[in-house]
Amino acid sequence: MAEKVIGVLGGLGPWATLDLFEKILRLTPARRDQDHLRVIIDSNAKIPDRGPAILGEGEDPTPALVATARNLERAGAEVLVIPCNTAHAFYDAVAASVRIPVLHIMEEVAAALRAGRPEVRRAGVLATRATVAARLYHRACAAVGVEVLTPDDPGQEAVTRAIYAVKAGAAGAAERAAVAAVARGLVERGAGAVILGCTELPLVLRPDDAAVTLIDSTLVLAQAAIRAARAVDEPVALHSVGGDLRPPPTPTPAHPRGVDLPSAGGSSTLPSVQTAAGPRTGAVGPGWRRGMAPKTAKNARASGLRRTTRPSAARGRKSSPTRKPSSKTTPKLRAVAPVADRTAPRGKPARPLTKRELAEFRRLLEDEKRRLMDELEAMEEHTPEIEDQVGMDIGGGYDEDLADVASSTFEREKGLALESSVQQMLAQVEEALVRMEEGTYGICQRCGNPIDVARLRVLPFATLDIRCKELEEKANGLLR
């Protein structure tokens, strides 16, 4: 059966939309671009704020929601999702305006809660004041026999502040601590699980912020969208904040304050908001970044070498290849199993990799090595063209317009930066293959514990487990 196209009625807010898309990617089993689902996103941040409208204090967003839904349907979407809990107060109008199914986030969360935690009879809900006032989760959870608990007024105010801090790209440790305290208060009142009923909240909390399961409504919606698109009758699974989908936080330069799009649990990548959960970067899964250049790497493969010096600016001059990038950027790994570090954070260690998993990761790494070498070779073939044009511009041969010169120079510098990035990733992949030969692959170099298999599926050349990575980034001032 043909897969359906997912339409995302997004922008409510933009970071939550990006978080949903990332989760759809990570939940989809894919070895190549074409294995992923087609997703059409309309990030319409101009839709009026849903909260004030529900509370009778703002413009009605219904016309804009309906128009956006119809735009997605015309664009080819065959199933719609709305990564905004509060917007589901207008669900009936949106669903009636299109001829394609629209998933309901509250119903999906309630079904996941009943399937994954059948023993839970009372669930806490952290959401916007408007979502609570509209009793959206109250109705959905009542349908599966679960009573909803919500925060008191001071607690609700803390949750609201955290939500708008995420929207502003300014959420941090203070917001996390405040919302975590509210969640713990709900647990003390008898909640057997806590639903993060606002799509900004998974960008704030971590799994250990409450003694019960924290249910990420965005993650549940992502799984439901994939089930609907693939038309498979998979069992409903309960996903909690900081599940096994996202990679650990890694530093991302060149983002404005608060922009480093992570997800709850400090695990993720792709742009993200700088949150207490840690920054999120653009690191991607086993497919990584494709499509830079389709040419082959005959020379690189034949010599087993790759260029690490910058290409010459003069026509006809070729740079000499070297073995690998400087050890300052990719330090040589030791050939012995690491010794446990007493300063590493404690936690339940992951299980060691099986022989089948090791073979799977070896194939992934070897495929990625070939792809990266292809990219390097293609970039080396393209670089002289850019540099010749820069030389002609500066020399006045064709065009003396300074804007043209600046544009060409920018293209050259961008190419060099991309080449350096590919070289560094290639070095990490090769080092991972070396560790596999030495029998130390999948072992944290800091604490000596096995690295969780889910982390390796996202970042096969990882050298630290999630907890040690967090400790490293805290020491470097990357996490607050």
Cα torsion at 397, 398, 404, 409 (round to 10°)? Answer: -40
Domain membership of residue 46 as a residue range: 6-104
Question: Does residue 376 belong to any structural domain of this protein?
Answer: yes
Instruction: Report the pLDDT value the prediction gives residue 297, as an integer from 0 to 100.
Output: 38
- Examine the pLDDT at 1 and tell me if it is beyond 70: no
- Examine the pLDDT at 36 and tell me if it is beyond 80: yes
- Examine the pLDDT at 232 and tell me if it is beyond 50: yes
Cα(396)–Cα(405) distance, rounded to whole angstroms? Answer: 10
Q: What is the pLDDT of residues 148-184, one digit of tens each?
A: 999 999 999 999 999 999 998 888 899 999 999 999 9
Cα(464)–Cα(450) distance, rounded to whole angstroms? Answer: 9
Quickly state the pLDDT bin for 462 (edges 50, 70, 90): confident
Amino acid at site 227: R
243-247, 261-265, 348-352, 466-470: which is most confident: 466-470
- Examine the pLDDT at 262 and tell me if it is beyond 60: no
Of 104, 121, 149, the residue at which a domain comes to its end is 104
Question: Does residue 286 belong to any structural domain of this protein?
Answer: no
Question: Does residue 273 belong to any structural domain of this protein?
Answer: no
Question: Does residue 372 belong to any structural domain of this protein?
Answer: yes
SS3 content of the chain, % helix, strand, coil (to 5): 45, 10, 45
Of 69, 104, 139, the residue at which a domain comes to its end is 104
Question: Does residue 121 belong to any structural domain of this protein?
Answer: no
Instruction: Report the pLDDT value the prediction gives residue 349, as an integer from 0 to 100.
Output: 60
Section 188-210 average pLDDT: 92
Q: Which positions are catalytic? A: 84, 198
Cα(257)–Cα(274) distance, rounded to whole angstroms? Answer: 7
- Examine the pLDDT at 338 and tell me if it is beyond 50: no
Of 65, 80, 104, the residue at which a domain comes to its end is 104
Of the CA atoms within 13 Å of residue 40, those in its CB half-sphere come to 17
Instruction: Give residues with Cβ within 8 angstroms of 38, minimum separation 6.
Output: 3, 5, 6, 76
Question: Does residue 19 belong to any structural domain of this protein?
Answer: yes
- Are the beta carbons of 404 and 386 closer than 8 angstroms? no
- Asked whether the CA dihedral 178, 184, 186, 191 is positive or negative, the reply is positive
Looking at the chain, the whole-number percentage of residues with pLDDT higher than 70 is 66
Q: Which two tokens stand for residue 335?
A: 């050939």
Residue 100, Ramachandran bin (φ over 0: left; ψ between -120 and 50: alpha; else beta): beta
Least confident of 113-122, 222-231, 281-290: 281-290
Cα(393)–Cα(402) distance, rounded to whole angstroms? Answer: 8
How many domains would you assign to the chain? 2
Question: Does residue 206 belong to any structural domain of this protein?
Answer: no
Q: What are phi and psi of 450, to 5 degrees?
A: -65, 145
Cα torsion at 403, 407, 408, 409 (round to 10°)? Answer: 100
Cα(298)–Cα(381) distance, rounded to whole angstroms? Answer: 11
- One DSSP character per residue, 426-438 reads HHHHHHHHHHHHH
- Examine the pLDDT at 135 and tell me if it is beyond 70: yes
Quickly state the pLDDT bin for 380 (edges 50, 70, 90): confident
Tell me what the pLDDT averaged over the chain comes to: 75
Quickly state the pLDDT bin for 314 (edges 50, 70, 90): very low
CATH number at residue 329: 1.20.120.910
Nearest to 462 by CA among 439, 479, 445, 437: 445
Q: What is the pLDDT of residues 112-125, one digit of tens each?
A: 999 999 999 999 99
Nearest to 337 by CA among 190, 443, 205: 443
Section 316-338 average pLDDT: 40
CATH number at residue 19: 3.40.50.1860
pTM: 0.54
Question: Does residue 257 belong to any structural domain of this protein?
Answer: no
